Chain A
Amino acid sequence: MNLQDFLLMRHELLLVIFAAIILLAEIFTGENKNGIRNLSVILFSIITVAGFFPVPEGSLFGGMYKTDLLRVTVKNILNIGVLIVFIQSYSWLKFDENKNKISEYFTLLVSTLIGMNFMISSGDFLMFYLGLELATIPIAALAAYEIYKNRSAEAGVKLILSSALSSGVMLYGISMLYGATGSIYFDEVAPMVVKNAMIALSFIFFFAGMAFKISIVPFHLWTADVYEGAPINITSYLSVISKGAAVFILMIILFTVFRSIIFLWQEVIYVTAVLTMTIGNLFAIRQQNLKRFLAFSSISQAGFILLGVIGGNQIGMSSVIYYILVYIFSNLGAFGVVAAIANVTGKENIDDYNGLYLTNPKLSLTMMLALFSLAGIPPVAGFFGKFFLFIAAAQQGFYILVLIAVVNAIISLYYYLLVVKAMFLNKSENPIKYFKSDWMTRIGLLICILGIVAVGFASGIFEHLNFLSFGIN
């Protein structure tokens, strides 16, 4: 093993160095932490750009760590998302109560990103488990970040306990899989997986654990509370980045390790997809708090993502990654607007947004674009994302499932338009006053808008992803 080999894990190494630098800066600087905030954003931009340089394929540590172009692409997508989150949280970190915890914010957030990168690149269940835990434990600390707020503490404890239970359940599944096959390496487990009771049971446990992380419906109960209680930037991070990474690795494991019991897991995913879409939608309709509203909408989005997973084929993989890319821009755009308004006024309810267009037209238009993209209205990127997912499921003959998904997409259109209606049509006695958000917030929102528009029109992206996904199945 020499230096060349270490360069294979460039993404992770850069992030580790980043976290170490921030921690060292915290230790060796005085009271004023504003420099750390600037340093972090600049350093992370450099890391994001550095991730795009070509990297060789290969595996390390005897197959525990794998990297190829598809995984690198997903890591780059996540990097972009985290960069947007950093930019959006810039003004929130200026608050007096957050000033003494700036470096913790960046270190913990980057730790979770390191975990996700290792999880994405994992070649065995040990690396996968370590990555998963590294991706969830710091996020619980971040959910409880605002220690002076009751809700933040409650969100933190709910997140850590439910994620601990879910990883315990998942580990039990992995241990049974180890008992049945005698290995924890994906490549060695895959040929040993046959259709018998023990494997089926271990798959169910494993899937239940993963379903907690992605908040698929029977296991979604923690989602709304955690999303509402956590700071907005953490919520947006949880809803897109964590979910994207977990869906990707779930897909890899389903497609490779559990390949031979595909008919078993297709049934499971069929049922959970229908439940997730429907229940997420039905609860989203009656929400008043925007964070809760976006939480339930993200649950139903997870149901749509399962449509790409169910096919178990190349186009399914590429459509899910494409959808994650679109979803990062649209959801971060929506959360960015909510955060910008909450930072200035502290208001988070849909009623408070009445008449927003008259006072803050730019923010309203951004919110509208993001919500249209989430709903999947044709010209914007979200439409193509959903379209490819539907194609992936239809190709495998799941026509009824696609029909249910289309009905759900129409229902979701209704509640997304409720927010748009509040902003553009409803009158209000005391609307939110006009305010100028600072330039960092604007840059964050601008990136989201550009992403939503550009990803929809650049058709080459999906073809490129489809090309990279070749050979996964």
Chain B
Amino acid sequence: MNSEFLILFFGVGVFLVGFAIVFAYFIAPRSSTPQKFEPYECGIPTKGITWLQFNVGYYLFAILFLIFDVEAVFVFPWAVVMKDMGMIAFVEIVIFFFILILGLGYAWKKHALVWE
């Protein structure tokens, strides 16, 4: 196996992320106010209990996310064998995505993507 390639990939990944964090640490402005330690940093300080129930309407997003997220599981095996199978694999994945996009279009049309 090309383990050196894997090590390189890993190293570059660690370096890029680490560099961004360290660089931001040095150049970013900092301030420390009580609001900083609130669960929700933005806006006014919270009053009363913060354990509120979520709007049940958000379940639509959860369901849509669940479906479209899990469908990605089929793309990975496809990507592995795509080169060997050639054109037919491409056509099949296009059909697959067409059906998924139909579902997305339907959700859009039904205003399921609107954050109320």
Question: What is A's interface to B at a CB cutoff of 8 Å?
Answer: 1, 20, 23-24, 26-27
Minimum-distance CB pairs A-B, first 5:
A27-B109, A27-B105, A23-B102, A23-B106, A1-B88
Q: How far is the CA of A1 from the CA of B109 in the complex (A)?
A: 37
Which residues does chain A contribute within 8 Å of B99, judged by CB atoms? 20
Question: What is B's interface to A at a CB cutoff of 8 Å?
Answer: 88, 98-99, 102, 105-106, 108-109
What is the CB-to-nearest-CB distance from A140 to chain B, in angstroms, rounded to a whole number? Answer: 14
15 residue pairs A–B, Cβ–Cβ below 8 Å: A1-B88, A20-B98, A20-B99, A20-B102, A23-B102, A23-B105, A23-B106, A24-B102, A26-B106, A26-B109, A27-B102, A27-B105, A27-B106, A27-B108, A27-B109
Which residues does chain B contribute within 8 Å of A24, judged by CB atoms? 102
Which residues does chain B contribute within 8 Å of A27, judged by CB atoms? 102, 105-106, 108-109
What is the CB-to-nearest-CB distance from B31 to chain A, in angstroms, rounded to a whole number? Answer: 48
Which residues does chain A contribute within 8 Å of B98, judged by CB atoms? 20
Q: How far is the CA of A24 from the CA of B108 in the complex (A)?
A: 12
Which residues does chain A contribute within 8 Å of B109, judged by CB atoms? 26-27
Q: How far is the CA of A24 from the CA of B104 in the complex (A)?
A: 11
What is the CB-to-nearest-CB distance from A101 to chain B, in angstroms, rounded to a whole number? Answer: 10
A20-B98, A27-B106 known; 5 new pairs, CB 8 Å cut-off, are A1-B88, A20-B102, A23-B105, A27-B105, A27-B109
Q: How far is the CA of A24 from the CA of B106 in the complex (A)?
A: 8
What is the CB-to-nearest-CB distance from A17 to chain B, in angstroms, rounded to a whole number? Answer: 11
Which residues does chain A contribute within 8 Å of B102, judged by CB atoms? 20, 23-24, 27
What is the CB-to-nearest-CB distance from A133 to chain B, in angstroms, rounded to a whole number? Answer: 14
Which residues does chain B contribute within 8 Å of A23, judged by CB atoms? 102, 105-106
Across the two chains, which residue of chain A brings its CB closest to B109? A27
What is the CB-to-nearest-CB distance from A262 to chain B, in angstroms, rounded to a whole number? Answer: 37
What is the CB-to-nearest-CB distance from A164 to chain B, in angstroms, rounded to a whole number? Answer: 15
Q: How far is the CA of A463 from the CA of B71 in the complex (A)?
A: 46
Q: How far is the CA of A23 from the CA of B102 in the complex (A)?
A: 7
Which residues does chain A contribute within 8 Å of B106, judged by CB atoms? 23, 26-27
Which residues does chain B contribute within 8 Å of A20, judged by CB atoms? 98-99, 102
What is the CB-to-nearest-CB distance from B67 to chain A, in angstroms, rounded to a whole number? Answer: 12
Which residues does chain B contribute within 8 Å of A1, judged by CB atoms? 88
Q: How far is the CA of A27 from the CA of B105 in the complex (A)?
A: 7
Name, among B88, B108, B109, the residue most crowded by chain A CB atoms within 10 Å (CB to CB): B109
Q: How far is the CA of A24 from the CA of B88 in the complex (A)?
A: 25
What is the CB-to-nearest-CB distance from A114 to chain B, in angstroms, rounded to a whole number? Answer: 11
